[in-house]
Structure 1
Amino acid sequence: MDLWTLQLKDVTIRNPIFSSSIPEKSSSFSRKLCELEFRFLNRKVSASPYRSLVVRATSKKSNDDSSSPGDASQENKPSNGNKSGDSAAPKSFGLNTDWREFRANLFMKEQEEKAEAEGHESEPIGLKWAHPIPFPETGCVLVATEKLDGYRTFARTVVLLLRAGTRHPQEGPFGVVINRPLHKNIKHMKSTKTELATTFSECSLYFGGPLEASMFLLKTGDKTKIPGFEEVMPGLNFGTRNSLDEAAVLVKKGVLKPQEFRFFVGYAGWQLDQLREEIESDYWHVAACSSDLICGASSENLWEEILQLMGGQYSELSRKPKLDI
């Protein structure tokens, strides 16, 4: 028989400036043939305290207690399984496959503990949530700070990062502004492209950014990944003009609905170092948020809503009057 060990260990960015002397807390659950160990380490990263999770599963023979979780020679070996007549077979422990939501729950849990320590009441996480993160990632949002109030293009905008980018000159970060509706439908564009003029004629148009290209977001909900589109986060995909014909076919087949699409005129893009410098210069707050928040019916107050959900200093910013620079 095999002995399985599942380790869940808290980690943060491996950088000396983020090191912590807080002792590691651990708890374990063990049975005859199964040991489940949880280890959480409280860390605070800049102004954005949260916890992240690494999952590692290892196995070893029940008659061999010499291996350790860190022994690479023992990892990733397939299990021989358990005999069908073995009533003591280990049970499986399910984990949420959306790691972003799992991280959000850990962050909110820490905020609850902080609120309780200060004698305040806290609200449980709902369908709409947002919290700060230290670095940009695919599917995060860039929330304009008051430093951009004087720049009409990006003042009080929320940019959904479709790709976090690489150091390759042609693969920098890019995304779309998601809180600037143009209050027009595609039919008002008088497009010569048949699918836009017919299948998607009633879809709303948004200003996506100053760079020239058209993109669309597709809310897929609980549907499995759809070929031909790139997933931004679970339940949300994006496509370009090149994938429009495929999208139209899926609509005609009844797989997708026109109202699940949101079209953008233009997009925002950076070089990798350029975006990092803008964040370090406090032009953007970086946050993770739920797809329900991004795909909400109303987007014009999204800037304020995200900042309020982020809490603390961010919530205060949402109430400040816009600066005329």
Structure 2
Amino acid sequence: MFVVIYPGNGDQSIPDRDSSRRNNSSESNKSNGDASQKFLDVNTNWREFRAMLYNNYQVEKTDSVAQGGTPHVSKPLGPKWAHPLSAPETGCVLLATEKLDGVRTFERTVVLLLRSGTRHPQEGPFGVVINRPLHKKIKHMKPNNNELATTFADCSLHFGGPLEASMFLLKVGKKSKIGGFEEVIPGLCFGARNSLDEAAELVKRGTLKSEDFKFFVGYAGWQLDQLREEIESDYWHVAACSPHLIFGDSSDSWSESLWKEILQEMGGHYSELSRKPKQDI
């Protein structure tokens, strides 16, 4: 039943006159709903969609060279994938190149970019190093903050970068967006010291577990043009990679071997770079 609003006359109901017309309308609405849902799914998973396009392009290019243009069969995208990007974006990773070998702070690091930044001096791009575990737990640091000393006492600490500030990542999985925390990629958000109370409340309510949090000492930050110049000067490879690589259940996630694994997933000459020994500087 459709309801039409007549100004000044209240709600007037118009009964259905034709059941077949009603069914057609219902089918049309269902079709539109399905189309909308598909659009939402594509919009939500646009990173995976882009990765699939890149993967198919690489396969097609390889097959064309090897088989003289024989049509290729698209391969499904696995849980682990990575591909290069032409420019940094929120949620991408920066992989240190051999030019940073010997620079202890960034040598063979993987930086997860939490914000791609703007040209404003106080709003440049920043992120955290995600493959430098400190092999210590928060309780070993004897924190003064009550939530750190209790709720998050057994959480691992990681070196996040040379700039002074503490941040944390929270793995939210397929849960809807959690208020008060900024999404980096679907399933992963970040927070800072001023949102510790909200984070602890999520654990106390059972929404998340303390194991879903990773805490970082320090962070990495740039001016917008500074990061672009470093990328153009070949200090960083820019890549998109699957959430499974960034916060999967494998022991390689968050470990020093993550740098090598992402480069290998990128394939081609990147895979070759992952096997090169460190440069003596």
Instruction: State the TM bucket, normalised to the shorter chain.
Output: 0.7 to 0.9
* 1:74-93 paired onto structure 2 within 5 Å: 84-86=22-24, 89=28, 91=31, 92-93=34-35
3-state SS of 2:244 partner: helix
| Aligned twin of 1:273 | 225
Farther-moved stretch of structure 1 (121-130 vs 234-243): 121-130
- Among residues 100, 104, 110, which one is paired with 2:51 in the alignment? 104
Task: Report which structure shows greater RCO (CA 8 Å, sep ≥6).
Answer: 2
Q: Name whichever structure is richer in helix by fraction.
A: 2
1:190-201 alignment runs, 5 A limit: 190-201=142-153
Following TM superposition, by how much is the alpha carbon of 1:185 offset from its aligned partner in structure 2, in angstroms?
0.6
User: Equivalences for 1:85-234 in 2 at 5 Å?
Assistant: 85-86=23-24, 89=28, 91=31, 92-93=34-35, 94-95=38-39, 96=42, 97-119=44-66, 124-234=76-186
Cα distance in structure 2, aligned partners of 1:292 and 1:160? 14
Match of 1:261 among 210, 213, 216: 213
Q: How does 1:306-325 map to 2 (within 5 A)?
A: 306-325=262-281
In structure 2, the residue matched to 1:300 is 256
Q: Which amino acid aligns with 2:64?
A: A
Q: Could you say which residue in structure 2 is the equivalent of 1:61?
A: none
From 234, 237, 240, the counterpart of 1:288: 240
Per the normalisation by structure 2, the TM-score is 0.83
Which runs of no fewer than 5 residues in structure 1 stay unpaired?
1-82
Q: Which moved more, 1:274-283 or 1:106-115?
A: 106-115
SS in 2 for 1:85: helix
Query: Structure 1 residue 290: deviation in Å?
Result: 1.1
Q: Report the CA distance between 1:127 and its aligned residue.
A: 1.0
For residues 240 and 177 of structure 2, what CA distance do their matches in structure 1 show? Answer: 21
Partner-residue secondary structure (3-state), 1:215: strand
Distance in 1, Cα, partners of 2:152 & 2:134: 16
How far is the alpha carbon of 1:292 from its aligned partner? 1.0
Is 1:245 matched up with 2:184? no
Separation in 1, partners of 2:218, 2:87: 24
Q: Secondary structure at the match of 1:218?
A: strand
State the superposition RMSD in angstroms.
1.7
Unaligned runs of 5+ in 2: 1-20
Is the partner of 1:263 in helix, strand or coil? strand
Amino acid aligned to 2:53: L
Deviations 1:114-140 (A, max 9, x none): 232244999642111110010000000
Taking only the aligned residue pairs, the percentage that are identical comes to 72
SS at match of 1:188: helix
